[in-house]
Structure 1
């Protein structure tokens, strides 16, 4: 069966409202851990404080160090009514727009948009002895799914990041069905969150503490970081009957050349590679597929070029841009070199970065991982328990096959807490 023909109804399960964790536990690493390593021995129950017992010695363990921004704003119309603006992503480079002074333009969702026909909405975000700190928002463009909003603020010496920090709220997932509270500013972030840009947390990492990290390092497990800024599309329900009719959301990732080199070395030495979270896995698989794109392009150029033109073919390959290498929704199921080994794909990517003079890979991925996709880049995954019928659940099924049903049923029967603030699992892939 084609991946596009997968029926979403086959990836549904009954999730009682009472099993959704509305708040985090007092201690991060006290969350329950369901371990799925050996099919024959069933599942093991533990807590995250003991996860080092299950990660292989000498493994390379990768985390997503993105930081959630307080992207939800409540602003007043001139008539006194309220509008809620949810900042999704900037029109322009994220780091640049977060550092803007005075004004910036973003793609946004708007709550109460029907009552906001024209004009500006405002919010006071501070005062001092002689002036009021004011943020205003104006609609520049409307589409079927989002708005382009221009923000302006005074005093303009502050950055937009500082304005959001002062007035914004953490954008909790809609299924928590509550307003953000002060505790969420800390607990809806990983302890290693570093680069601002997400509107949703990489929740698999919420369970990790410095004590857990110390225990992992004691087993010669190397900890490393990628960055993928999680968008609101991660909560987008799959409303289509088949996955082929679902439009997968795209997200930006940022990975250093040094990390790609470390990955190349780890795979060449056959070291275990463990991903913490589906966003980390998507980033790693996207790197592999970018290498495959380069190998496909090289093969195509070689087939068209004579031996005397081989140097010219190589030069043409170096002209490929980031946009040429971006991973679209179905690329993984169409690339000829998707069957290649990981070191070869990563080597192609490193060579291209050298030709471009790049020390970081910043690109967009729309990768959809579903049953039928071959996981290449990891030997284990730490992740939470996901919503029924979601693309994240399809990703888990790509790792486990139909055993995902057994694992989720076990978790439901043994009082595991589900979704962002819930418990999690460690899944080890067998070669």
Structure 2
């Protein structure tokens, strides 16, 4: 399967640089897989798309403010804390990378926290740097006051104070992500309450989104791509509730590709019944066209970058032809794309 099948044309002006004024005012493109039709609406109408007895499964990961702005000499530098190795020791994505030579000191303003760049072969092989913060206090305790939200690289503006709230779902609880589960950004507490009152079960799991979510597939044949692993947890009560709803004939709606990947990773068939492994673990499941879904009946998701594993999952779930048509339609109708953009519901 060639990577070129997952490319599409996107005018740069359609990449959303800011969220909509209200979370639930985003546009919603609906794909009906059985009739192969496309409808246009507003996100608020998602309430009408779900029935009593269905389940909405959401990712309650919380984005950490892990972006730091500092200086090496007079040059401003940008650091993203990717992986904690020990107290005050981190693998980081650093820009511009050439400035981060072993022994170099980085000063982070306005707090005057300093860190030293350390020689590390493993970090270099991963395209990262190793930073050690020069302080007794744990930098983790200071991130809420000195760190910034790690907005994706296609958002070409400075981080604003409002991003601390808007680049976070209203139900975010378990800290650990360096990117938001963007399909969930459209929900308000009022919409969640309305769904609950309608009889839709609200079920939560956790997948901490890592740097790999932005990694394009570089292999010509996508089957040669090595998927990144991310830590996740499906609580036992959530697993049993999803099983109960499926037995009762309800549909499982995954809010985002992260939820879809956790559910499909945990699902298995036992005595002709759908069951789920519960607990903590990691998933590196790679879903692309040809995959047979076991657990997910509906998928709510944002519009994704070309040539990414996220787009491949959407093509697998919707079907390649209708997915391509939907993306072309979204471009034509000037939908807003990516993290702060609009969304689609595939049923």
Q: Same fold by TM-score, threshold 0.5 exceeded?
A: yes
Kept in 2: contact 1:73–1:86 (CA 8 A):
yes
**The residue matched to 1:175 in structure 2 has which SS?**
coil
Picking from 2, 11, 17, the partner of 2:12 is: 17
Map Cα deviations across residues 37-57 of structure 1 (whole Å, 9 max, x no partner): 255372222111121101122
Q: How does 1:15-94 map to 2 (within 5 A)?
A: 15-37=10-32, 39-40=34-35, 42-77=37-72, 79-91=73-85
Structure 1: tracts of 5 or more residues without a match: 1-5, 93-102, 127-132, 296-339, 351-360
The 2-side partners of 1:36 and 1:116 are apart by 47
Picking from 390, 413, 420, the partner of 2:308 is: 390
Map Cα deviations across residues 177-219 of structure 1 (whole Å, 9 max, x no partner): 2221112111111111111111111000010001111221121
Kept in 2: contact 1:89–1:106 (CA 8 A):
yes
Instruction: After TM superposition, give the deviation of residue 76 of structure 1 in Å.
Output: 2.7
Name the CA shift for 1:139/1:74 in 2 (closer, same or farther; >3 Å).
farther
Instruction: After TM superposition, give the deviation of residue 140 of structure 1 in Å.
Output: 5.2
The 1-side partners of 2:33 and 2:235 are apart by 34
Bigger mean CA deviation after superposition, 32-41 or 169-178: 32-41
**The residue matched to 1:43 in structure 2 has which SS?**
strand
Alignment-derived partner of residue 124 in structure 2: 143
The 1-side partners of 2:139 and 2:273 are apart by 40
Instruction: After TM superposition, give the deviation of residue 135 of structure 1 in Å.
Output: 4.3
CA RMSD of aligned residues (A): 2.0
Kept in 1: contact 2:102–2:119 (CA 8 A):
no
Kept in 1: contact 2:44–2:191 (CA 8 A):
yes
* 1:381 and 2:299 correspond: yes
Kept in 2: contact 1:60–1:274 (CA 8 A):
yes
Kept in 1: contact 2:26–2:343 (CA 8 A):
yes
Structure 2: tracts of 5 or more residues without a match: none
Instruction: After TM superposition, give the deviation of residue 341 of structure 1 in Å.
Output: 4.7
Instruction: State the structure with more CA Rg.
Output: 1
Instruction: After TM superposition, give the deviation of residue 385 of structure 1 in Å.
Output: 0.9
Higher strand fraction: Structure 1 or Structure 2?
2
Kept in 1: contact 2:27–2:42 (CA 8 A):
yes
Higher helix fraction: Structure 1 or Structure 2?
1
**The residue matched to 1:404 in structure 2 has which SS?**
helix
TM-score computed with the length of structure 2 as normaliser? 0.92
The 1-side partners of 2:167 and 2:70 are apart by 23
